[in-house]
Every structure is written in structure tokens, then in C-alpha cells.
Chains A and B, each alone.
Chain A
């Protein structure tokens, strides 16, 4: 009996990638997909404004905002300088004070019991509500905005750093004690380096919080800066200027976050976990 043709082993079919229109590499896809989505939303916004004839006093189209951004660019950039400087300064101060307090709390039982519950309390309350107090106490200058930014950015640094300092393996700490290393040496060579990934996790939150603090300060003190520009433009019903200021603010916020994330990458490469 002859074997039917259909049972003879068929030539292997060419393997085709299925379910993919383009042979995207993973990275390209990860970058392109959100960009395309954002572009679609902006396109929709533009179309909506144009087709429905929405008044620019209510909602300017993205193209109108872009135009305004280019037109007022130098002026807005000038306003962005104090905002950026105060954000960076507030962030750096918060980083130093926050890690300092975390070290104190992790090293001293008294400090932990006295301070840490209060740190958690402040971390949980809406700190923005306290902003006017800072203005009353410290006036309407840079000092009060900076202090408020530090106040807001400080808590995530403390909490993240403390988690890192406390999270060091117990056996490793025992090893340090057994070779006769004192508390200071153990901090310097083991606990602090071990906490570095956590410090950066806190720093990434702190940089965005610091900017929030500065903007809120600018809203209240109404002196200069992008926060003030937004407030000013709102009082003039200049929607395009509001959106232009917000766009610039977003760009600066992203840039600062990217710098922090970059520093984190460098640190983590050194850390080698």
C-alpha cells in the first residue's frame, strides 16, 4: 500500500513573524509607541479646537501654544531661571539635610523614637497647605520659596535613605562588629554605600517635589518665575501664555528628572548590585 502523499513529511513552512506589521526592535517600540500616542492626542486636541471653533480664551490649540512659546521664548526663559535655580538649590539642600537626618535616625535610638514618627506624620499630611505659613514667617523673597521647596522635598529623601540604611544585612553588620569596626567606620564603608540606590530612589521623588514647592511658592509670593507667569497670564485670561509657561515648566521638570536619573545610573554602575 502506497503511503498517501499527505502523510509524507511536508517541507517546513517558512517561519514568518506573526502579529507584527513592522519588525520593531524592542527599544524603538518602547520609545515610539508613547510618542505616537502623545502626538495623536495633540492632533485630536488641535482638530477639536479648529473644527469646533473653540475660543482661544478657553482652550488654545497646540499650534497656537507653540507659536506663543516661540514668540515669548526669551522672556519666558528669563522667568525660568529663578524657578530652575530655586528648584535645584532646594533639591540639593533637601538631599543633604534628608540624608543627614536619616543617618542620625538610623544611628541613635533616641533620635529614631523622637523624630521618626514625626517625619512619617509630615510625610503623610498635605504639606502644600502649610505654604502660606512660610510666607508669613520668611517674607516673599527667595528665602521662603527655597525653604518651602526644601520642606517638601526633604521627607521622601529621609524615608528612602533610612530604608536603605536599615536594610543592610544583619549578618554583614555582625561581620563588621566582629572585626572590631566601630559605628563610624561601618557607616562609611558599609551602611552608607549600601543605601545609595535608596538615596537615588528618594532623590528622584525629591527633584519633582522641589519644583512643586517652588511653583507653589511663586503662586503665593507673586514676584517672578514661571509659577508667577502662569498666575499673571491667568489674570489676563491669556490662555496661550499659560500653556506656553506650563510647557516650558514640563520641559525643565523633565530635564531635571533626567539629570537625576542619569546620576543614578552612574551611581548604580559603580554600586554594581
Chain B
């Protein structure tokens, strides 16, 4: 390494004092209230929080798909104004196009962006192989299981080689066994591709297993009520779940979430 990259001053994701209020028939709904955090390049950060607290809203703002009512966001120092093309998105449902093959679904972001990428088809094939879907490139989504479809969605999120992965409860619609498998695959793939990742989940063990850092949010409107660092190196082996330190972290988090559920005042106390 004769020419190391200069240390970057700006984090991959910076969220500063962001709030979001939606209009609704019964008056304005404050979904997010004054959230600030940063995610360093290559870091894996999970957001844990009760249902409806504003996690998805926060992710949409990071992606530039919703504008904040207050505060600002920046990706690698560039302010987020409008949709960000350098992020890969994954949602709770795979949202594949049923009329396209698995390969074309993976290539979908490139086709839609109109930015042709040299060797795109090869890259799609390589990603599918990485996700254990080598033989399925020409199949239709209908012919795949739920877990396989979500793996296709992961390949699709990675195809344009985004700097940042934003994942909103990507495994919560899967059964427990498939889910464990997907968590393991994600941990390996993300570590190998060195992606900065913001991962939203309800599952404590999943968050601890995958993350460098976990942010706990309170009840709506969302604020960060606790922050927990996970000191184990990544990618991690499933055996780590037997480690007492791992389990102590899970218990701490459970406790933090219970306090968060009682309201922001109790959590701050």
C-alpha cells in the first residue's frame, strides 16, 4: 500500500437534528423528532425500535426519498437533496418484478438508471452465485421461495455497487431458519464487499450478530435513546452466539428497549 487513501473527514452517513412531521387527517403526525447520528465508512449500524416509531421514515430520509421537516442529512459530506443514487435499498418484501427473470430483476437498477455498466451481466451472475442462487438466473420470482426472493433483492441492492446499503427489516417476513441463514449470508457478503450499512430490525440477536453499533430508538416520535457498540470483529461466526459477552449485550439491549418503551423520559433517566 504505497498510496493509502487520505483519511476521510466526513462519515458515510451524517444525520443532524433530523425531524419529520407527516400531515394526516387527524392533524400532523410527528414521526421522527430530532435524531442525530453518524455512520462511518464500512461500518454496520443497526436501528432497533418499537413498531411505528419512525424507523422507516428515517431510512427514507437517508435515501433522499422523503425530505426532513427539520435538520439535515449528508452522505460522505454531500448534502442529501433528492433521491440518492449511491445507495442500495432493501425492504421487508422483495418487491421483485414477476414478469422478469431473476437475472433481469438483479439488473433492474442499472436498466432503470440508464447508466449502462460494463460487465453488468457477469456481475449479476457473480452476485447470484455469492447468494447461492447460481442455477436460478433464468427462473421467474414465482418459482423461488421467500428466502430466495429476498436474496435476489439483496443482489439487486448490490448490483450498482452502491457505497451504502439501506435495509428496512429485510428478513422480518421470513421464517426463523431461513432468517438465520440470510443473516449469516448478509454478514459475509457485506463484510466482503465492505459496504457501509444501515440496518433496521426488530430482532435483537440479529442486530447484535451483524452490527458494529446499535442505535435504540424510543416510541414515536423517534429519538435515539441508547447506543451500544458491539466489540467483536466482523464477519462473525455463528458460534459467537454462545459467547457470554454476546448474550450480555443482548440482555442490555433488551433492557434498553424496555426502558425506551416506557417513554423517552424514562429512558433518559
Q: Cβ of A180 and Cβ of B97 under 8 Å apart? A: no
Provide the residues of chain B in CB contact with A178, threshold 8 Å: 63-65, 83-85, 87, 89
Assess whether B111 is interfacial by the CB under 8 Å rule.
yes
Q: When A180-B113, A185-B114 are in contact, do A273 and B142 touch as well, CB less than 8 Å?
A: yes
Which of B63, B85, B112, B141 has most A Cβ within 10 Å?
Answer: B112
Q: Which residues in B have their C-beta under 8 angstroms from that of A174? A: 60, 63, 65, 89
What is the CA–CA distance of A172 and B109 in the complex, to the nearest angstrom? 11
Chain A residues whose C-beta falls within 8 Å of the C-beta of B93 in the assembled complex: 169, 171
Which residues from chain A contact B154 at a C-beta distance below 8 Å? Answer: none
Task: List, in ascending order, chain A residues with CB within 8 A of B84's CB.
Answer: 178
**What B residues does A270 contact at CB under 8 A?**
99
Let me know if A181 and B113 touch, CB within 8 A.
yes
Residue of B nearest to A185 (CB): B112
A179 and B112 contact, Cβ closer than 8 Å, known pairs A174-B89, A272-B142: yes
CB closest residue in chain B, given A196: B99
> CB-CB < 8 A to B87: which residues of A?
178
Size of the chain B interface, CB-CB below 8 angstroms: 27
> Given A185-B112, A193-B99, A270-B99 in contact, is the A177-B91 Cβ separation under 8 Å?
no
Docked-complex contact A175 and B95, CB < 8 angstroms:
yes
Count A-B pairs with CB separation below 8 Å. 64
The complex places the Cα of A189 from the Cα of B100 at a distance, in Å, of 10
Is B19 among interface residues, defined by CB-CB distance under 8 A? no
Q: How far is the CA of A193 from the CA of B105 in the complex (A)?
A: 14
Q: Mark B114-151, 1 if CB is under 8 A from A, else 0.
A: 11000000000000000000000000111000000000
Contact indicator B98/A271 (Cβ below 8 Å): yes
Give the secondary structure class of A's interface: helix
Q: Which residues of B contact A176 (CB under 8 A)?
A: 112
Indicate if A190 sits at the interface (CB-CB under 8 A): yes
Write out the residue numbers on chain B whose beta carbons fall within 8 Å of the beta carbon of A171.
Answer: 89, 91-93, 95
| Contact for B83 among A180, A272, A273, CB less than 8 A | A180
How far does the Cβ of B235 sit from chain A's closest Cβ, in whole Å? 27
Among A169, A175, A194, A272, point to the contact of B109 (Cβ < 8 A): A175
Considering the complex, give the chain B residue whose CB is closest to the CB of A188: B112
In angstroms, how far is the closest chain A Cβ from the Cβ of B267? 30
**Residue of A at shortest CB range from B99?**
A271
| A179–B84 CA distance with the chains assembled, in angstroms | 7
Residues on the B chain within 8 Å of A172, using CB: 95, 97
Given contacts A169-B93, A178-B85, A180-B85, 10 further A-B contacts (CB under 8 A): A169-B95, A171-B91, A176-B112, A178-B64, A179-B113, A181-B113, A185-B114, A193-B99, A271-B98, A272-B142
A-B contact pairs, 14 of them (CB 8 A): A171-B92, A171-B93, A172-B95, A174-B63, A179-B110, A179-B112, A179-B113, A180-B115, A185-B114, A189-B112, A190-B112, A270-B99, A272-B142, A273-B142
**Residues of A near any B CB (own CB < 8 A):** 169, 171-172, 174-181, 185-186, 189-190, 193-194, 270-273
Closest 4 CB pairs of A and B: A181-B112, A171-B91, A179-B113, A172-B95
